[in-house]
Amino acid sequence: LIQQAVPHLEKTKGNIIIISSNLSTLIIPLLTVYSVTKAALDHLTRCLAVDLGSKGIRVNSVNPGYVKTNIGRDFGVD
């Protein structure tokens, strides 16, 4: 999707915002796969920022914290 958007973003000096999580930097039992995928998104953000910055495309990520929900309780994060 990003590859397809680059030509347009280059013309418009657009932005890419990637949604990650603060769990990209934390270790919580039973959330290993989730944490690793979010850490990968953080690294993707840094790499894309370097690769696309010269084209005038800004790349950032947002890493929201925990929001109390029932699913969190199920994982013992309550």
**How far apart are alpha carbons 53 and 32 in whole angstroms?**
31
Annotated catalytic, 66?
Answer: no
Q: Three-state secondary structure along 17-70?
A: EEECCHHHCCCCCCCHHHHHHHHHHHHHHHHHHHHHHCCCCEEEEECCCCCCCH
Which of 14, 18, 34, 44 is the catalytic position? 34
Catalytic amino acids? Answer: 34
